[in-house]
Amino acid sequence: MLAQIAGVAALRDKEHFQRTLEVVRKGREFLYRELGRLGLKMVDAPQGNYVTAKVSEFGYTAESFTEELCRQGGIMIRGGFPS
């Protein structure tokens, strides 16, 4: 119940909501740009809080790419779709 009250209060805070949207937008654009610079083919321009890249061209599955990012860079992502 307390979490619901806090969630409703956060949604009503328009400044907080706009700042959060901006942080998500900038992070998404950064990730999209940098993954593209690494040579990954990006799937569509992102509109949500995620990006989609084709990793199979580099010999990865979604799962193995996720594990490699975590192992090498401490970057934790959620692998979603099969490559």
Q: Do 70 and 76 form a contact (C-beta atoms < 8 A)?
A: yes
At 81 the pLDDT is 56
Residue 55 Cα to chain centre, angstroms:
15
Number of domains observed in the structure of the chain: 1
Whether 32 is covered by a domain: the verdict is yes
At 83 the pLDDT is 45
CA distances from 31 to 13, 14, 15, 41, 50 (A): 27, 26, 24, 13, 9
Whether 50 is covered by a domain: the verdict is yes
Whether 83 is covered by a domain: the verdict is no
At 80 the pLDDT is 60
> Domain range spanning residue 58?
2-73
- Tell me the CB-side half-sphere exposure of residue 70, using CA atoms within 13 A: 10
- Taking the whole predicted model, whether its pTM rises above 0.75 is answered as no
Q: 17-70: per-residue pLDDT in tens?
A: 899 889 988 988 888 888 888 888 888 776 776 778 888 888 988 888 888 888
**14 vs 40, more confident:** 14
Whether 81 is covered by a domain: the verdict is no
Whether 79 is covered by a domain: the verdict is no
Whether 26 is covered by a domain: the verdict is yes
